[in-house]
Structure 1
Amino acid sequence: MDQLTLKSGKSRFVEFIFLIFTIAFYTGALKSFWGNYEIFFSIIILLFLMYFIFTKRINIIRGLLTNSLLFLFIFYTSISFLWSVDVKMSLYRVFLLIVSTLFALYIFERFELTEWFYYLSVTVFLCIIVSIFFILFIPELGIHHDQYLFGAWKGIYFHKNGFGSILIINIIMGFYQYLNLKKNKIIPVLNIIFSLILLYYSQSKTALLIFIIMIVILLCLKIRKFPKLLRISLTIFFLTIFLCIGFFVLGNIGLILNVLNRDLTLSGRIEIWNYVYIKSNLSPFFGYGYGGFWTEKTRATQDILRLIGFPIYSSHNGFLDILVNLGYIGLFIFILVFVSGLVYSFLILQKNFSKYNWLLMIILIFIFANNISETRIILSDPIHWVLFITTLLYSSRQFKLLYGKQL
């Protein structure tokens, strides 16, 4: 083996380790141990990113300009420290956002969509394997022992909902692998089954609901490929089923929520949403600055904490947190970005219904659903932000390839 080949092999191995580590880090794995060193690890990631970007000659500017609305949202978010009520915290949060954005751009420019899914699948699967080890052999770390969440499995994650979210990503990747593999399909099937078992024991109702939504979407996407008469018949059948379920749920909402260990306030979320919305109107257009709301320096936040009587660190709604941090202007730009992604993915499916293209829409719907009762897209574990950006950029590229233009 010559020196050039050896050097190239070592470089690829270092890059592989870097990818696995960064993706795992961005999922929030073992955050209980490194949470206080987030800035340190982010600087390390940034240094490696700079090395790979320059040595591999990766054009991240081209990637960023692939979706102009996304660029506008990132730019607006980055300058929000100028009007933040806590400039220091906003600068810290903006730095983390920029590093994770650079990582997403590096992924987009460096790898094809299938390669990105491969690295994501491998990393998430490894995180789940380690989580199982913690649950079985280190239960004091892998299982909740606090009063309200006692017995819920959380693996190597800080909270059961975080673990549930990663399990859903693994299930999505499992479906992708099942469709992509020509043989050994039993492996992704077993992966999905074990993930569902873990999801059940995590007691994450949010993740379970998202899984049900994913199944419904997959059925809808599958039905559209059937002959017209069969498609109409199945649509009527499923609509009838969903209407019956809907009427049953409305008539027995109290009983169902009681079975799910929930109440009509969604475990207090509606009360939190109401307070946060009221406080958002004190700075409606520009918000409190990115990362500037949920801090000790923000009087509005302290008022909310006194009213609800226990500590929280987000609105438990991603869109509401965008509103309160970036104002109506930021929320409006984000909605435009998100809708553009959905339009891209829908039009792509109209032109080419492949196993890769439908996954882009599924991921966007997953991100939307995951931010209704939790804050995931911003000010949280960056894997959701990285997923969001890469999905938007790959959708934009695919749309341009199919239609020869951008919207």
Structure 2
Amino acid sequence: MEKVGVNLDEGTQEAIMTRWRHFESDSLGRPSIGLAQISLGLAFVSGFGAFSGIFSIPVGVYFALQTLLVAAALLTGSRGPLPRLRVPVPTVLFVAWWCFSYFWSSAPWAFRGVSVQDLASLVVVVLFIQLLSQRRFFRTLIWAGYCSMVMIAVALVIQPRKAYPDTGPLVGLVGGFVHKNYMASAMILTTVTVLCFESRVAVRRLVVVLSIIIVVLGKTTTGLASFMLAFVVLAFLVRMTRVTQYLGRASSMILLAAGVVLTATFAQLSRGLVGLVGKDTTFSSRTLIWDSVVERVKHRPLTGYGYGAFVNAYVDPAATINRSIGFGVTSAHNGPLELLLRLGIVGLGLYLLQFALTVRRGWRLQKRDEPAGRVILLFCVIVCTFAFSESFVMLGIWFALLSALSLDPLASAPTSSAQQSG
């Protein structure tokens, strides 16, 4: 059979090779790569809360470990000069506002404890997404997901009653996680990343089956809904090239409008859907929490109560909220409301700006049919679905990932001749 070839001009060939080098090349040498992956893996597994139900790492110890790992990774050598590192402008402004909130924080000591770990994770993720190749970064994220699965098994062995409670308000598998929705979100993110980057069919099938079993055993309505939505969106994104070709230049606006309509429709039908699956329409008393949080936000709409607002249950606003609802909570159980309570309208606005930048980059990569684009857009879908009933997906490691995924590796990847030849 005669081979059919495609003739490309030199400019096109160079562009393709440059993108491939950026996808495969690391800015760090061999010893540093391992240290960077350990640092990243620790940030992911700790941020997901995979072992919080088994043991805890003190904030000071976590900060010291990450400082040592980052310093060692940067000092043990790099392949040529390091690229010019960048941080998204909305992230810089968000972190600055976050740090300034210490001055009006209702619990300064709690602010320090929460902020140190979250800031350390943010630095690690934003730094190493630029110094590691794109493939290696996502591989590290996948392996962190595998480690989280292992921690579920470990928890079932050493503390089965706590890992799978059959009585009380939180019935269902939780493993070593602090909450079953922490577990579900980590499993879904791991699964979609594997489906986008793993080429071995057997591995893909195994991860999907295990994740479905874990989420089903967790008995979390939010997790199941998010899982189904993620699969639907992934199926659409895989076939999106044909859709955009059919719709033409107006495809972005049409798809955005369709998304807004679907979201509004879901919001109108949500209470009925919740009732059909046997849940109360207060979303396990979350509406009571939301009403109380809104009342506290009205007192400080612009600034909020500081980043550690919910850490100390004995001072305002946490104490007032708990008294008004009649039981204790440790978060607003809603992402946007949590940010409003902590950092006010300013903080929420900066977060939404960063979210928009991340979606824009994911959409750009998706239009080029790159797997990273699908992972980024699916990550944003996961954040949106879980943020309806949980706060953690807009904070900590999830915000660090949101910020890092907005950085274009084509702009920050190494370009020196030494790096290209290595």
**TM-score exceeds 0.5:** yes
Aligned to 2:398: 384
Q: Counterparts of 1:397 and 1:225 in 2: how far apart (Å)?
A: 24
Verify the 8 A CA contact 2:83 2:412 in the aligned structure 1: no
The correspondence of residues 107-126 of structure 1 with structure 2, limited to 5 A, is 107-126=128-147
* Superposition RMSD in Å: 3.3
TM-score (norm 2): 0.78
Partner of residue 285 from structure 1, selected from 295, 302, 312? 302
Q: Counterparts of 1:95 and 1:28 in 2: how far apart (Å)?
A: 16
Q: Does 2:161 correspond to 1:140?
A: yes
Verify the 8 A CA contact 2:309 2:318 in the aligned structure 1: no
Verify the 8 A CA contact 1:272 1:315 in the aligned structure 2: yes
Partner of residue 407 from structure 2, selected from 382, 385, 393? 393
For residues 335 and 228 of structure 1, do their structure 2 counterparts lie closer, same or farther at Cα, with a shift above 3 Å needed?
A: closer
**Which SS does the other structure have where 1:392 is aligned?**
coil
Q: Counterparts of 1:60 and 1:90 in 2: how far apart (Å)?
A: 33
Aligned to 1:404: none
Aligned to 1:361: 377
Aligned to 2:11: none
Q: Counterparts of 2:32 and 2:350 in 1: how far apart (Å)?
A: 39
Structure of greater relative contact order (alpha carbons < 8 Å, 6+ residues apart): 2
Q: Counterparts of 1:70 and 1:396 in 2: how far apart (Å)?
A: 20
Q: Counterparts of 1:81 and 1:396 in 2: how far apart (Å)?
A: 36
Verify the 8 A CA contact 2:365 2:372 in the aligned structure 1: no
Between the two proteins, what is the percent identity of the paired residues? 20
Deviates more, 1:306-315 or 1:339-348: 339-348
The correspondence of residues 129-278 of structure 1 with structure 2, limited to 5 A, is 129-135=150-156, 138-150=159-171, 152-178=172-198, 181=199, 184-226=200-242, 250=269, 254=272, 256-258=273-275, 260-278=277-295
Aligned length: 373
Residue ranges of structure 2 left out of the alignment (5+ in a row): 1-28, 249-253, 416-422
Q: Counterparts of 2:33 and 2:365 in 1: how far apart (Å)?
A: 32
Verify the 8 A CA contact 2:32 2:74 in the aligned structure 1: no
**Which SS does the other structure have where 2:58 is aligned?**
helix
Q: Counterparts of 2:46 and 2:90 in 1: how far apart (Å)?
A: 27
Aligned to 1:327: 344
* TM-superposition CA deviations, 1:357-383 (whole Å, max 9, x none): 22222212222222221012455xx33
Query: What displacement does 1:34 show?
Result: 3.4
Letter in 2 for 1:188: R
Q: Counterparts of 1:15 and 1:108 in 2: how far apart (Å)?
A: 10
**Which SS does the other structure have where 1:226 is aligned?**
helix
Query: What displacement does 1:91 show?
Result: 2.5
For residues 21 and 93 of structure 1, do their structure 2 counterparts lie closer, same or farther at Cα, with a shift above 3 Å needed?
A: closer
Partner of residue 20 from structure 1, selected from 41, 44, 47? 41
Residue ranges of structure 1 left out of the alignment (5+ in a row): 1-7, 402-407
Aligned to 2:25: none
Q: Counterparts of 1:396 and 1:265 in 2: how far apart (Å)?
A: 46
Aligned to 2:62: 41
**Which SS does the other structure have where 1:225 is aligned?**
helix
For residues 330 and 132 of structure 1, do their structure 2 counterparts lie closer, same or farther at Cα, with a shift above 3 Å needed?
A: same
Partner of residue 71 from structure 1, selected from 84, 92, 97? 92
For residues 192 and 297 of structure 1, do their structure 2 counterparts lie closer, same or farther at Cα, with a shift above 3 Å needed?
A: same
Aligned to 1:295: 312
Verify the 8 A CA contact 2:307 2:342 in the aligned structure 1: yes
* TM-superposition CA deviations, 1:236-261 (whole Å, max 9, x none): xxx9xx99xx79x94x955x534534
Q: Does 2:335 correspond to 1:313?
A: no
